[in-house]
A = this chain, B = another copy of it.
Amino acid sequence: MRFEEAYSGNVFIKSHPNYNESQAVIYGMPMDWTVSYRPGSRFGPQRIREVSIGLEEYSPYLDRELDDVKYFDAGDIPLPFGNAQKSLDLIEGFIRQLLQDGKVPVGMGGEHLVSWPVMKAVSAKYDDLAIIHMDAHTDLRTSYEGEPLSHSTPIRKIAEHIGPNNVYSFGIRSGMKEEFDWAKENGMQIAKFEVLEPLKKVLPTLKGRPVYVTIDIDVLDPAHAPGTGTVDCGGITSRELLASIHAIAASGVNVVGFDLVEVAPIYDTSEQTANTASKLLREMILGWIK
């Protein structure tokens, strides 16, 4: 069983060498085959790990150090290129194992569809699960050009699975009219354009509940995250996203898992997107894993 031994590969900074002793497990989901626009997020997890060596281990925002949390880096889940269904099944199986072992799953995408099997597995463990979703896009389609397995569908799938009223989207600035209409008709809350202020209103209502947080890096404005599949102007700043992470940390919700997806390094020669992703992950780990 590979979990018993140290993973030999490019790991996220300060990863703990022992799976059994870790509270959380960080892993990559290098899948990008259902994206409708620019592929490349399969290389996101490896590049995020690589640049994480440039991170300070201390957060002056949270006054906490990475040594204070034990997380194991399990590497990238090996996925069959071009086979979406099998990839999702493999991810779901991987997460079920993690949850059974009592680990907090910390995922790196990959396209957003990878969050679907994770959220499904997490919802199987936590009855009263709520989803906090930060994204430029609604991701509420039932299919994309006839394909039900598409990067435009994961939030619809989990909303139908656990009930739309348990899903909270923030920062949304793109989608089809039908998607917005479906959300409204089904009691799902979508905060358009903004993240921090609407989040502050929602968080008190989620206090004590198990929450899974899924963040598409494109919730950031392209100025702050040019290295992603779909760049869509009018987004939030990295400051607002950091403040939102810290707001969740301070809110008393019980974060039982989280992911950050859609980092596609090839489109960003400055590597700011991967660097930003690695800092965001540091803040999420330090703020959300107690």
Q: Across the interface, which residues of B come within 8 angstroms of A233, CB to CB?
A: 224, 238, 242, 272, 275-276, 279-280
Q: Which of A226-267 contact B (CB under 8 A)?
A: 226-227, 230-234, 237-239, 242, 266-267
Q: Across the interface, which residues of B come within 8 angstroms of A226, CB to CB?
A: 270, 272
Complex Cα distance, B43 from A226, in Å, reads: 18
Contact pattern, A 74-110, Cβ under 8 Å of B = 1, otherwise 0: 1100101111101000000000000001000000000
Q: A8-B8, A58-B177, A224-B222 are in contact. Are A78 and B145 (CB under 8 A)?
A: yes
Binding stretch for chain B, among A15-23, A125-133, A196-204: A15-23
**Minimum distance in angstroms from A6 CB to a CB of chain B:** 5
Q: Do A239 and B230 touch (CB < 8 A)? A: no
Q: Do B147 and A82 touch (CB < 8 A)? A: yes
Most chain B CB within a 10 A radius of its CB, from A35, A56, A61, A270: A270
Say yes or no for A208: interface residue by CB 8 A criterion. no
**Minimum distance in angstroms from A171 CB to a CB of chain B:** 12
Q: Across the interface, which residues of B come within 8 angstroms of A266, CB to CB?
A: 38, 40, 266-267
**Minimum distance in angstroms from A144 CB to a CB of chain B:** 7
Interface of A is mostly: loop
Copies of this chain present: 6
Q: Across the interface, which residues of B come within 8 angstroms of A173, CB to CB?
A: 60-61
Interface size of A by CB at 8 A reads 90
Q: Do B19 and A192 touch (CB < 8 A)? A: no
Q: Do A232 and B58 touch (CB < 8 A)? A: no
Complex Cα distance, B147 from A33, in Å, reads: 14
Say yes or no for A73: interface residue by CB 8 A criterion. yes
Say yes or no for A164: interface residue by CB 8 A criterion. no
Q: Across the interface, which residues of B come within 8 angstroms of A147, CB to CB?
A: 80-83, 86
Q: Do B223 and A272 touch (CB < 8 A)? A: yes
Q: Across the interface, which residues of B come within 8 angstroms of A34, CB to CB?
A: 33, 81-82
Say yes or no for A54: interface residue by CB 8 A criterion. yes
Complex Cα distance, B35 from A81, in Å, reads: 6
Complex Cα distance, B42 from A10, in Å, reads: 16
Q: Which of B8, B32, B46, B231 contacts A7 (CB 8 A)?
A: B8
Complex Cα distance, B226 from A149, in Å, reads: 32
Say yes or no for A124: interface residue by CB 8 A criterion. no
Q: Across the interface, which residues of B come within 8 angstroms of A9, CB to CB?
A: 7-11, 49, 73, 75
Complex Cα distance, B19 from A266, in Å, reads: 35
Q: Which of B3, B176, B231 contacts A272 (CB 8 A)?
A: B231
Q: Do B6 and A230 touch (CB < 8 A)? A: no
Q: Across the interface, which residues of B come within 8 angstroms of A46, CB to CB?
A: 10, 50
Say yes or no for A150: interface residue by CB 8 A criterion. yes
